[in-house]
Amino acid sequence: MTLSQFFFFYNAIVIISTALLMVTRKSPVHSVIFMLIMFFHVAGLYLFLNAEFVAALQVIVYAGAILVLFLFVIFLLNLKVDRLERQSIANWPTAAVLSVAMFTVIAMATSGMQVGPGKYSIESLNRSFGIEGSSHIKAVGVLLYTKYIFPFEAASLILLVAMIGAIVLAKKSR
């Protein structure tokens, strides 16, 4: 086993086991902690795939913003311990069988998949924008601000709507 395969297996095993622990723990705070470990290992996998920008986004947005939001809400709600019983449906094996079957179908359908070279490689982007030899993040930024400028603006609008919506929904009604 080469070093890269060892690194992949370490990350994969930690991701799968913490995800399983996350969906099975009774206390939501434990779930959030397991999810934090999972997010950091997913970020490690992204670094391994030469995606530094996505790895940084994963740590900053998921681990830094979304999980803190979950923690704040859990602390805010003040869940009573006796109400935390009976958190799963009675016939959870049905859900387990369904998801295992789904995994089997996806794995069988995608095994041995071959992918061709894409149109937007880093080298060709850097050549067409005249920034040869620069980093990966620069190529992502240039593509984001030229070809994908409209979805980028739409994303900012989505965030604005989410901000206003969250304030309106969580506000105390008089």
∠ CA 28-78-80 to the nearest 5 degrees? 80
Q: Is 149 in the site for another protein (CB under 8 A)?
A: no
CB of 130 to another protein, least distance (A): 16
Counting contacts by CB under 8 A, is residue 155 touching another protein? yes
Assess 56 for contact with another protein (CB under 8 A): no
Q: Are 136 and 52 in contact (CB under 8 A)?
A: yes
CB of 94 to another protein, least distance (A): 8
Query: Residue 152: CB partners within 8 Å, gap ≥ 6?
Result: 144, 145
State yes or no: residue 169 binds another protein (CB under 8 A): yes
Kindly state whether residue 39 participates in binding another protein, applying the rule CB under 8 A.
yes
User: Could you give the CA distance from residue 21 to residue 115 in angstroms, rounded to a whole number?
Assistant: 33
Closest contact distance (angstroms) between CB of 74 and another protein is 6
Cα angle, residue 39 at apex, residues 33 and 44 outer, rounded to 5°: 135
Structure tokens at 77: 């709600």
Task: Please select the residue that binds another protein; options are 86, 130, 150, 174, rule is CB under 8 A.
Answer: 86
Binding mask 8-37 for another protein (x = CB under 8 A): x---x--xx--xx-xx----x--xx--x--
Q: How far is the CB of 4 from another protein (least distance, A)?
A: 6
Sole binder of another protein in the list 75, 121, 127, 128 (CB under 8 A): 121
Among 81, 118, 130, 174, binds another protein (CB under 8 A): 118
* The one among 129, 134, 135, 148 contacting another protein by CB under 8 A: 148
Residue 41: both structure tokens together: 């290992």
- Other beta carbons less than 10 A from residue 38's beta carbon: 21
With beta carbons less than 8 A apart as the criterion, state whether 99 and 42 touch. Answer: no
CB of 76 to another protein, least distance (A): 7
Residues 18 and 37: beta-carbon distance below 8 Å: yes
